[in-house]
Amino acid sequence: MSIDLNKMTRNFILGEGKNPPPSIEGYLQAISESLEGLNPKTLKELRKVTMTKLHVREVKKLVKRMNEKVKVLEEQVKVLEESKGNAD
């Protein structure tokens, strides 16, 4: 049994660009990190950055709640599909 290194290399190179897209949480984390790196020069800019940080925190909470609801709904669908399968 031989290992085809050329095939492995080709598959690796061709598969590199096929990473899954970042999650919502990943985008929010990147936004939070960008906001932390800002140095507002005026009071107006400071207020905007502060409000944006607050909004990002609230969106994170909403995303967490939404993900919990999706998980519950997926479980309910699974139970319904199983009960439907047993009824047939």
Give one DSSP letter per residue of 5-73, joined into a string: HHHHHHHHHHHTT-PPPPPHHHHHHHHHHHHHT----SHHHHHHHHHHHHHHHHHHHHHHHHHHHHHHH
Among 7-16, 23-32, 50-59, the range with the most confident prediction by mean pLDDT is 50-59
Answer whether residue 7 is part of any domain. Answer: no
| Number of domains present in the structure of the chain | 1
Answer whether residue 45 is part of any domain. Answer: yes
Whether the predicted pLDDT of 75 surpasses 90: yes
Pick the more confident residue, 84 or 2. Answer: 84
Enter the pTM of the model. Answer: 0.67
Q: Which domain holds residue 69?
A: 24-87
Whether the predicted pLDDT of 17 surpasses 60: no
pLDDT at 16: 62
Answer whether residue 42 is part of any domain. Answer: yes
